[in-house]
């Protein structure tokens, strides 16, 4: 039986497991996670085998990275590249992805998401459950779009951005790299890089630095 691996055994990992079981029937799935408390736990039939070093002896292992935190994901991707691990996409069969959209390496596209014509989804981006990415929009590398967010046409969302659940982004706007948009925000104008913004209309609340509390986001 083929083996496949999912990095991250939190909620996003379980979501990815559901998708990958549909995408690769007949594959046995395992979680890869550094958290010692999770070692050898069985989650929905998939065993947590430990950190990435456990893949060193596997022949051409395939791995999907299931994380919502953009910069943590970036670090894991770099480690996987050093270890020559093949990084695979997870695209739920119920997602509607235009044949003219360009989908990057290692992306996650969850159930019911819609990616419309000529959109471009960057490497390792996450398009979560029921999110909509409209025509000609560009989603940057490692960017996460949360459930039910609606990104209008010709929007430019740069790398490592996090868009909260149900946020709506006006057509033709730009959201700068590393920014976080709160749940339910209505973005009506450009948001600069490394900025937390939320509300209706979304206002810049503060700059995001190393003290930013990600536990309110993920």
Ligand X SMILES: CC(C)(COP(=O)(O)OP(=O)(O)OC[C@H]1O[C@@H](n2cnc3c(N)ncnc32)[C@H](O)[C@@H]1OP(=O)(O)O)[C@@H](O)C(=O)NCCC(=O)NCCS
- 135 catalytic? Reply is yes
Which of 13, 152, 164, 178 touches ligand X by CB under 6 A? 164
Strand 102-103 with 120-121, pairing: parallel
Chain-centroid distance, C-alpha 159: 12
- Give the shortest CB-18-to-ligand X separation in angstroms: 15
Rule CB under 6 A: is residue 130 a binding residue for ligand X? no
What is the DSSP pairing of strand 42-43 with strand 46-48?
antiparallel
Among 31, 124, 142, 198, binds ligand X (CB under 6 A): 198
Looking at 72, 184, 192, 194, which residue binds ligand X (CB under 6 A)? 184
Decide if residue 70 touches ligand X (CB under 6 A): no
Angle at CA of residue 129, ends 80 and 92, nearest 5° = 65
**201 is an interface residue for ligand X by CB under 6 A:** no
Alpha helices in the chain (DSSP H): 11-23, 70-82
Beta carbon of residue 211, minimum distance to ligand X (angstroms, whole number): 11
- Under DSSP, the state recorded for 111 is T
Question: Which of 147, 168, 173, 178 is close enough to bind ligand X by CB under 6 A?
Answer: 147
Report the nearest approach of ligand X to the CB of residue 11 (Å): 8
Residue 15 vs 80, nearer CB to ligand X = 15
- Tell me 191's DSSP state: B
How far is Cα 2 from Cα 177, in angstroms, rounded to an integer?
38
How do beta strands 195-198 and 203-207 pair? antiparallel
Catalytic residues: 135
> Given the rule CB under 6 A, which residues bind ligand X?
146-147, 164-165, 180, 182-185, 196, 198-199, 205, 216-217
């Amino acid at each position: 039986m083929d083996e496949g691996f999912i990095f991250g055994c939190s909620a996003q990992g379980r979501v990815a497991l559901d998708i990958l079981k549909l995408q690769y029937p007949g594959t046995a799935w395992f979680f890869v996670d550094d958290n010692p408390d999770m070692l050898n736990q069985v989650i929905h039939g998939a065993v947590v085998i430990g950190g990435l070093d456990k893949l060193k002896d596997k022949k051409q292992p395939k791995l999907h990275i299931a994380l919502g935190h953009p910069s943590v994901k970036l670090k894991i991707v770099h480690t996987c590249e050093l270890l020559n691990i093949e990084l695979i996409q997870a695209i739920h069969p119920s997602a509607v992805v235009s044949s003219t959209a360009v989908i990057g390496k290692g992306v996650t596209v969850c159930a019911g998401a819609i990616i419309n014509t000529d959109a471009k989804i960057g490497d390792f981006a996450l398009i979560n459950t029921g999110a909509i990415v409209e025509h000609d929009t560009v989603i940057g590398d490692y960017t996460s779009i949360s459930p039910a967010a609606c990104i209008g046409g010709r929007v430019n969302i740069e790398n490592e951005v996090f868009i909260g659940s149900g946020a709506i982004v006006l057509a033709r706007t730009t959201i700068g790299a590393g920014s976080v948009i709160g749940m339910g925000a209505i973005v009506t104008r450009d948001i600069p890089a490394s900025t937390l913004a939320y509300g209706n209309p979304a206002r810049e609340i503060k700059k995001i630095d190393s003290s930013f509390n990600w536990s309110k986001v993920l």
